[in-house]
Chains A and B, each alone.
Chain A
Amino acid sequence: MVLSKLLTNQTVKYEKSFHGNWEDAIKLAADPLVIDSTIDKKYVNSMIDNVKKEGPYINIGSEIALAHARPNNHVKKIGLSFLKTGNEINLIDKKHPIKLWFVLAAIDNTSHLDVIKELMNILMDSKKLDLLLNANSQTQLLNAFNEPNNASK
């Protein structure tokens, strides 16, 4: 399991009441990857610039954002981090309220695809998604990610 190596108590965060906008949320979600040098701050800025330029397309499902940018020399290795905000933060506008913030760092066009596959197994499993949406601590979030996988429908 690639995912369980990436989503750890270092990279998964819970903020009960988050004060800030979507840019702050992406920055906070990405912070662990900056700290462990997976990415540098320029990658964080390019993720934010992408949304400013192209719109809220990273809103991949209800209340879920998957922030990412093109692989560039500000990414050292594949990375994934996660922030849950207890309150909804609007991505650009009210039509895109988000609570689950994922940050993906890719080094090329293919090597991160297994990570996405595993992540989708979780997000498309309605039981696990409910666990994430209802979680109100870091421990509960980690438990949800590490739940044995049901056959995804």
Chain B
Amino acid sequence: MKILAVCQNGLGSSFIVQMNIQNILKEENVDTSNISVDHADVGSTGADSADYFFTDKTLADNLNVPKDKVIPLNSLIDKEETKKDINKILKKENIDFDAN
């Protein structure tokens, strides 16, 4: 499974989200051998780039990927918000995690 954090420039905001996702997976003791997390800019992102796309909600409509793959975030630095979305995905994909 590939998760991609996307922002306008692929420099700052997307990396913040990537960092949060990686920390969350680690805290929840998720086996990440089959999960990759990366960041990219809107321009270079297509439907095939990943399975799930995390992005700022103001950019969500600019993303050229199927809507059901897009997770719009209200706040990029709110780890709790990101965590809820990540846990939803983990449940859907039947991946074990430590809920807390």
A and B physically associate:
yes
The answer, yes or no, to whether A76 is at the interface (CB within 8 Å) is no
Partner of B10, one of A50, A59, A109: A109
Q: Is the CB of B78 within 8 A of A61?
A: yes
Q: Is the CB of A61 within 8 A of B11?
A: no
Most buried by B among A58, A60, A116: A60
Residues of A within 8 A of B13 (CB): 57-58, 60, 66
11 A–B contacts from the bound complex (CB under 8 Å)? A50-B8, A55-B59, A57-B58, A60-B56, A61-B78, A62-B75, A66-B12, A68-B12, A70-B9, A109-B11, A116-B15
Which of A8-16, A19-27, A117-125 lies on the face that meets chain B?
Answer: A117-125
Q: Is the CB of A106 within 8 A of B11?
A: yes
Q: Is the interface of B mostly helix, strand, loop or mixed?
A: loop
Q: Is the CB of A60 within 8 A of B16?
A: yes
Task: Name B9's closest neighbour in chain A (CB-CB).
Answer: A70
Task: Name B27's closest neighbour in chain A (CB-CB).
Answer: A153
Which bracket fits the contact residues of A? 20 to 34
Task: Name A124's closest neighbour in chain B (CB-CB).
Answer: B77
Residues of B within 8 A of A120 (CB): 16, 19, 77
A124 and B75 contact, Cβ closer than 8 Å, known pairs A54-B59, A58-B13, A109-B10: no
Q: How far is the CA of A59 from the CA of B75 in the complex (A)?
A: 8
Q: Please report B residues at the A interface, Cβ cutoff 8 Å.
A: 7-13, 15-16, 19, 56, 58-59, 62, 75-79
CB contacts under 8 Å to B, within A55-106, are: 55-62, 64, 66, 68-71, 104, 106
CB of B64, distance to nearest CB on chain A (Å): 14
Most buried by B among A54, A56, A153: A54
Task: Name A92's closest neighbour in chain B (CB-CB).
Answer: B58
CB of A69, distance to nearest CB on chain B (Å): 7
The answer, yes or no, to whether A112 is at the interface (CB within 8 Å) is yes
Residues of A within 8 A of B15 (CB): 113, 116
Q: Is the CB of A57 within 8 A of B7?
A: yes
- Nearest 6 A-B pairs (CB), nearest first? A61-B77, A55-B58, A60-B76, A57-B56, A57-B58, A61-B75
